[in-house]
A and B are shown apart, each in its own frame.
Chain A
């Protein structure tokens, strides 16, 4: 049973650049959520995608955008990178909307902005 996969594992960018992170959900899941986790903090919700639409969004600026493809995989895009965007970016997958949102996480992408 394939779990959640993310790519790349690590990424180094400079301020002002743009980055794209990728996620494939666990087999059988159709909903993808993205989180940002700063060092020593819990994950912070960025947004959630279901049926190729953004369904929920956390308190993140428009520089953060995403996409979901027909095969349920997803991308997170961040424009005009700031030093404060350095973090572990986590993708989580689940099944459907509503109900108990039991989510399974990928290994994360470590983004460093210099």
Chain B
């Protein structure tokens, strides 16, 4: 069974304090790995899709990287508005497969 584990469960940062969130997966092969941001009571907002090991994508203060068994979401000089839950999801390569999500990392950025 495909598994996605995100760590830490919660992270508290001071404004400007850079850090990384981890997403490890056990799916055999990978069609795509996805990062989403979710604000409380709202639907997930799409951030990035990564396809192969070594790939990197950036958006404002966020950079996502991918290895063969994990992905990192690096947050550089975060601001309070970056506070949210960050979700990672994977899609296996076989046929038409749904996304499998991790439980997310709750990020709080304190001014």
Q: A residues touching B (Cβ–Cβ < 8 Å)?
A: 4, 6, 33, 35, 40-45, 48, 55-56, 58, 88, 90, 97-108, 110
Q: List 15 A-B contacts (CB under 8 A).
A: A35-B101, A43-B87, A55-B96, A56-B97, A56-B98, A90-B44, A100-B51, A100-B91, A101-B96, A103-B34, A105-B45, A106-B43, A107-B42, A107-B43, A108-B43
CB distance from B72 to the nearest CB of A (A): 18
CB distance from B111 to the nearest CB of A (A): 25
Residue of B nearest to A10 (CB): B41
- Across-interface contacts of A90 in B (CB, < 8 A): 43-44
Known: A102-B32, A105-B36. 8 other contacts (CB 8 A): A4-B43, A42-B89, A98-B95, A100-B32, A100-B49, A103-B34, A108-B41, A108-B42
State whether A102 touches B49 (Cβ < 8 A): yes
Main SS at interface, chain A: loop
CB distance from B44 to the nearest CB of A (A): 5
Complexed CA–CA distance, A98 and B93 (Å) = 9
Number of B residues whose C-beta is below 8 Å from A?
26
Tally of A-B Cβ pairs under 8 angstroms: 68
- Is B31 interfacial (CB-CB < 8 Å)? yes
Residue of B nearest to A101 (CB): B91
- Is B99 interfacial (CB-CB < 8 Å)? yes
